[in-house]
């Protein structure tokens, strides 16, 4: 390679580096400075980098939808909130991200009944037995969400999320009693039971599964979360109240 060619390459590399440095695109960010800008700022007078003390709060990647369409998510949030509503004791299912937990469960192997025996014959279960259904859980839930809107439109001429809290309760009670139309042959009471169970799991499960935001569900119960041991605490003569730990708390230990 000639000296002239080397000089041209070095010039191109230098120009590219200058562009990337000034544009803030070195880490893929379109906001001024990108991630680098959150760590350093420029003093316009001295052109010297100075460390910033404010950082944007990192978004929780577990809060992304994996199964629901936006309208289904909105309906699920509203229904879950009526099952576990916000009150003077603390937040409800909506604030605790129970619908995110439900979304992730339906998108998982659980949603497609991966570990269930699904061959016939199918019998009506005894009261002490679980329901054996012909359709997948994710499909049943999707049918149930649509049925909530259909029932609400028929009775109140509104979508479920547009109803008053009392009206939403009446719709859910009708589903719990199996009074609404069946879902591909499955009683609405089966869907309601799934909705209620998933809501409660979303309120109290470890935050790594998408719900129980900031461990607020545990904090309301004064539950200490997941801990390796209580060796020191059980030696105390007094009650020891512990701040909850989640599974992520053990990273690096």
CA separation, residue 120 to residues 127, 133, 174, 183 (Å): 19, 10, 29, 19
C-alpha span between 88 and 95 (Å, rounded): 14
Q: Is 232 helix (H, G, I), strand (E, B) or coil?
A: coil
Residue pLDDT tens, the chain, 253 long:
666 665 665 655 555 555 445 544 444 444 333 333 433 444 444 454 444 444 444 566 678 899 999 999 999 999 999 999 999 989 999 999 999 999 999 999 999 999 888 887 877 778 788 777 889 999 999 999 999 999 999 999 999 999 999 999 999 999 999 999 999 989 999 999 999 999 999 999 999 999 999 999 999 988 888 888 888 888 888 888 888 888 888 776 5
Backbone torsion region of residue 120, taken as left when φ is above 0, otherwise alpha when ψ lies between -120 and 50, otherwise beta: beta
């Amino acid at each position: 390679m000639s000296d002239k060619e080397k000089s041209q390459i070095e010039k191109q590399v230098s120009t590219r580096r200058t562009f990337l440095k000034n544009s803030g695109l070195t880490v893929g960010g379109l906001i001024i400075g990108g991630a680098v800008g959150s760590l350093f700022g420029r003093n316009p007078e001295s052109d010297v980098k100075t460390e910033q003390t404010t950082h944007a709060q990192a978004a929780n990647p577990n809060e992304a939808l994996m199964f629901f369409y936006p309208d289904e998510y909105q309906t699920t949030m509203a229904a879950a909130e009526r099952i576990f509503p916000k009150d003077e004791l603390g937040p409800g299912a909506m604030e605790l991200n129970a619908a995110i937990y439900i979304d992730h469960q339906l998108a998982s192997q659980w949603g497609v009944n991966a570990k269930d025996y699904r061959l016939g014959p199918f019998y009506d279960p005894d009261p002490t037995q679980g329901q054996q259904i012909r359709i997948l859980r994710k499909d049943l839930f999707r049918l149930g969400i649509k049925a909530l809107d259909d029932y609400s439109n028929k009775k109140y001429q509104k979508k479920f999320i547009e109803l008053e809290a009392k009206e939403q309760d009446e719709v859910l009670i009708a589903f719990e009693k199996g009074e609404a139309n069946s879902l591909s042959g499955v009683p609405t009471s089966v869907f309601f039971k799934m909705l209620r169970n998933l809501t409660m799991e979303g309120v109290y499960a470890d935050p790594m599964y998408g719900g129980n935001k900031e461990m607020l569900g545990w904090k309301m119960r004064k539950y200490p979360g997941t801990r390796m041991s209580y060796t020191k605490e059980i030696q105390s003569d007094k009650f020891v109240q512990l701040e909850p730990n989640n599974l992520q708390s053990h990273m690096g230990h």
